[in-house]
Structure formats: C-alpha cells, structure tokens
Amino acid sequence: MTLDEIRDLYAYSAWANARTFAAVAALPAGVAEAPVVSSFPSIRATLGHLVAAEWVWLRRWVGENPSAMPAWARESNVAGLRLELTAVELERLAYLSRLTATDLTRILSYRSLAGEPYADPLAGLLRHVVNHSSYHRGQVTTLLRQAGHPAPDTDLVIFLRLRNIQGSV
C-alpha cells in the first residue's frame, strides 16, 4: 500500500463519516439515544465507539498508549462527538502528511486498552482503522433503516464516482 492510497482511504473515510453524522444529526430528538439491539446500546453509542477508536489509534501512532476510551465517547451527544471527530481528522491529516514510505513498514509497538502488548506494521493498522469505521458506519446505516429513517450511501465506489465527477468531495 502506498502513501497516496492510505491518504485516499482516509479522504474516503472522512467523507463517509461526514455523511453518516449528517444523517444522524437530522434525526428527530431522542432517536439517536433510543435503545437498539446491536453491538452498542444506541446509534449515539455506536458513533461514540467509532470516534473513540479513531482517537485511540491516532494516539498510538503518535507514541501514546491510552488505557481507556475517552470519557467524551460515553458522555457527548452527537454534535459533541462530531466535534471530537473533526479534531481527530485534522490531527490525523497532519500526521498522514508527514508519513514517508518507510514509515509504512515500521513496526508499531503499543498496548491494548487492557494493557496487552502488540506490535504490527503501521500500514496494516492504518488500513484497520478505515475498515473498523466502515463496519460501524454500516451498523449505523442498518439502525437508521430499522428505525424508519433515511441512511446515507457511504460506499467507496460512490466516493470515487463523485470525486471523478466533481474533482473533489
């Protein structure tokens, strides 16, 4: 995987996150917090996990080892989570802009939230985060549809088509 491909994946992920958050922000009051049967107890909690996981991985990439998800992941409303995600995306964009091809092959040592040690190539971890967020955006899409609300199309191919038509998205 090249640096351009990594940066392209993160441009896609930011676009898809924005579409997902816009759909959730448009929900009637209480829907995002309503109990659901899924991996997390609500749409808001699912988004909280998505944003917190992106934050945790970025922290690891810059040499930190968080021992817990941040409190804001549980406590923030959807608008607050969107603000946290924007901060993560901006910091990550700067981080990605500094990466070199050699960095992609670097083995990153880190600890899980449970304190277990791991070491993986950075390129794989970068791909993992995009994949992880895609998975949880898919859950939000399903939950929106089950609740009778419109869900955004966040497929990569839609991003690519729009970018080809518009030049950027």
- List, run by run, the mean pLDDT of 10-residue segments along the chain (169 residues): 96 98 98 98 98 98 98 98 98 98 98 97 98 98 98 97 89
Phi-psi category of 118—alpha, beta or left, where left has phi over 0 and alpha has psi -120 to 50? beta
Determine the pLDDT at residue 168: 76
Q: Which pLDDT value is given to residue 69?
A: 98
pTM of the predicted model over 0.85: yes
Q: Please give the pLDDT value at position 57.
A: 98
The structure tokens listed for 134 are: 């895609």
Q: What is the pLDDT of residue 33?
A: 98
Q: In this predicted structure, what is the pLDDT of residue 167? A: 82
